[in-house]
Structure 1
Amino acid sequence: MTYCVGLLTRAGMVMIADTRTNAGIDNISIYRKLHILQDNEDRLMAIASAGNLSVTQSMLSMLTEGLPPVEEGGVARTLAGVPTMFRAAQLVGEAVRAASYSVGATLSGTGINAGISLLLGGRIHDGPLHLYMIYGEGNFIECSPDSPFLQIGELKYGKPILDRALAYDTELDEAVKVGLISFDSTLRSNLSVGRPFDLLVVPSDATRPDIRLRISEDDAYFDMLSSEWGRLLNESRAAIPVPPFMKAV
């Protein structure tokens, strides 16, 4: 199973993706699901993926090689040539549809789910950051200030902390903390999601450097965060008055 989350606040963007692929309890392996597709002075674009691995790999190859030109004799269409992040989301959606159709036809009747979903985040030039969720049919939605996060994969365990603790005005370091707590909650409740996972942090200020790292199995900060979060939850639970109807018991 997979869990990926993207956070977009006034201060910047955070994307986190686990690396575990699961084809049964005796067939678990590691595969990068957070991919940097464009990385230069002109643009930064990253994709996090959940779902069928063969469809995902086919889609990524299409984006790398370029989709067919609109007009005969034209040039292949790539993310390096799109003028806006909206156009980037459209191009990725087109690649998703093409890959899903190609691989899905092969898998038809096998009972194997060919569906995928993606998070696409980034910026062009020194413009604003954008974050999209792209569905298996190629359609997409954009992250908004009213709900400054998007999730794909095994999302239910990590959603409550995002609903309660994340707002558009949340500072970037706090947003990273909330995202990691969301992952810790998911890891606690679903053994098919696990470390290592990959992290990308992009400040809204384009002059500040972004952060890219892998949270390993023995990452000291994540271990501390998990322990402290559990301790504080128990302390908070104990500090809440008991229900009045229980006092008579």
Structure 2
Amino acid sequence: MASGRVSTVEALLRWRHPERGLLLPQHFLPVAEESGLIVPIGEWVLKEACRQARAWGDAGFPVSVAVNLSAAQLAHARLLPAVDAALQGAGLAPGALELEIAEDALLRSEPAFETALALRARGVQLSIDRFGTGTSSLEALRRFPLTKLKIDRSYVGDVGHDPVDAAMVPAIISVARSLGLRVVGEGVETAEQLDFLRQHGCDDYQGFYAGAAMATPDLSPHPG
């Protein structure tokens, strides 16, 4: 937030369908989860993300890479070996990998807690994604060994116009800060939103104001 430096790049998945063109996740991930294909797809994403993060580091741009995990991946026995293989294959430090987990997925099964502990023991960063949209947010913050909280874009988008959101965002930041978590504001599209987050002590931001999704991100500092 203070320097405009790119600290983390989030991996986004697209499918280049031979007939339908470029498909967004909502058009294919539900089927992948229902069929079980989300596990091998997720392993491929982990490997590619770690490989790219190592390549950026070697090129003089040391950044973390964030990868989203579904509830099915978090509960699967192959997750920990897949993370180990991706890190070792790329020669990437565990601290440079951030796994993003929706709050509902964290609380869906008891194995998720043990898996989260094992990931943190390895040094992998864990963030709770889209905070404020689930059903047991504070429980997730209390129980799990998280390192980062990402405020959902639905709160950030209206901070300049909705007094409720304008009150909620500082409250979320305060709770996260008391728990020692780094805070990210999602969906930042305007200078007004960025200034609001900065004034209330948010650490990082992401959104179109920083840059749209792209195949090869420009990692030079952003003037915001």
Q: What interval of TM-score do these two structures reach, taking the shorter chain for normalisation? A: 0.3 to 0.5
Q: Which has the higher contact order (CA 8 A, sep 6+)?
A: 1
Structure ranking higher in strand proportion: 1
| Bigger-Rg structure (1/2) | 1
Structure ranking higher in helix proportion: 2
